Amino acid sequence: MVRTSTTMPNVSIVLPVFNGENKYLADTVKSVLNQSHENFELIIIDDGSTDRTFSLLSDLSRSDNRIKLLQNEKNEGLVKSLNRALDRASSKLIARIDCGDIAHRERIELQYRFLQENHDYVLAASQAEWIAMNGEAIFTTNVPCDDREIRKRLFLKDSILIHPAVMFRKIPGLYYREIAATAEDYDYWLRLSRYGKLFIINKVLLKMRLDPDGTTYSKKIHQVKTVDLIHDAFVHGLKNPAAQREWQVVKLDSLETLQERLFHFFTRYASRCYRESKFLYCFFKLLSGISSPYYMFTLIRMRLKRLTVSNDPLFHQYLSWAERSADMELKQ
């Protein structure tokens, strides 16, 4: 029986996918279609897959007209796919999910309700449970949930907003930026936070599959350096609101490339060992860090900065954005 809907969706759920045939794609789609909140559209962008992804998605879309299936003629990358979906979205609320992830049945309902009741907020995320590719639980996040703490982490280059676990308000003219690829979400949250407050619902509303070949692990040094440049441009904007600062696309030297490859190599080994031996898992995770001093020094600097950030006038200037947006909302 075909599931049909004739009402205008009040949430647009965005799922980009590339070669997802063997990455639990059907499980992800089914977890979305089974949401307790039913008035949504699911925009799926097949980013030029070379396997049977589009055929699988075509079969799924025939059973539920809430699925809006798009296809890129060639692989365009995540940023262009996300922006294409934003352009096609019918709703002013955008929810994200990635291939392989599993949404809790009440995820969309709880995030939608929060944003409907709190108009001074522009984003509602959630806690998440990280799982291995085989579905085995690894760990559950327990991050701070209020706007001040989220902004503190963003200011320290530590985004605790899990991209596929967010729902946010669609802001006209605000898009992901290609130059920020590998850290496009961090860049987007910083710019989105100009328009309102941020919140994390303190419930696990997403199971997120840990892919050892994903960007977070396969391009770690590139990602860290990109975050550095995004943050530098952001701080420059705080100091000089009228000025704009662009940065060049990140390029790694030979030593940084070696560190990135070693980090990926040891992370992959760690993921293989998780089920058989927690000791080996921790050992290879440790090696991944030791082999990547650029990443390790970044983490150490971040932890040290936490001790003094509350006294940083630029941080308080960043906090004032949320206060101004709240004041504007009260006046409306």
CATH of the domain at 55: 3.90.550.10
Q: Is residue 183 part of a domain?
A: no
Count how many Cα atoms sit within 13 Å of the Cα of residue 303 in the half-sphere of its side chain. 6
- Which residue did the predictor score with more confidence, 217 or 108? 108
Distance CA 264, CA 247 (A): 26
Q: Is residue 87 in some structural domain? A: yes
Segment 304-317, tens digit of pLDDT:
888 888 888 999 88
> β-strand 67-71 against 41-46: which pairing, if any?
parallel
**Residue ranges of E strands in 72-196:** 93-96, 102-103, 121-131, 137-140, 167-169
Does 4 fall in a domain? no
Range of the domain at 59: 12-102
**Quick check: is 248 in a domain?**
yes
Q: Which two tokens stand for residue 93?
A: 């609320």
**In the predicted model, is pLDDT for residue 73 greater than 70?**
yes
Boundary (domain end) residue, out of 73, 102, 131: 102
The pair phi, psi for residue 116, each rounded to 5°, is: -70, -30
The per-residue pLDDT for range 191-230, each reduced to its tens digit, is 999 999 999 999 999 999 888 788 888 899 999 999 999 9
Is residue 260 assigned to a domain? yes
* Strands annotated E in the chain: 12-17, 41-46, 67-71, 93-96, 102-103, 121-131, 137-140, 167-169, 197-209
Q: What percent of the chain has pLDDT over 90?
A: 61
Q: Of the candidates 68, 102, 136, which is a domain's last residue?
A: 102
Helix, strand, or coil (residue 165): helix
pLDDT tens profile 132-144: 888 888 889 999 9
Which domain-ending residue is among 61, 78, 102? 102
Q: Classify residue 164: in a domain, yes or no.
A: no
DSSP 246: -
In a domain, 275, yes or no: yes
Total Cβ atoms within 10 A of residue 2: 7
Percent of the chain whose predicted confidence (pLDDT) is above 70: 94
Residue 303 falls inside a structural domain: yes
The number of domains in the chain is 2
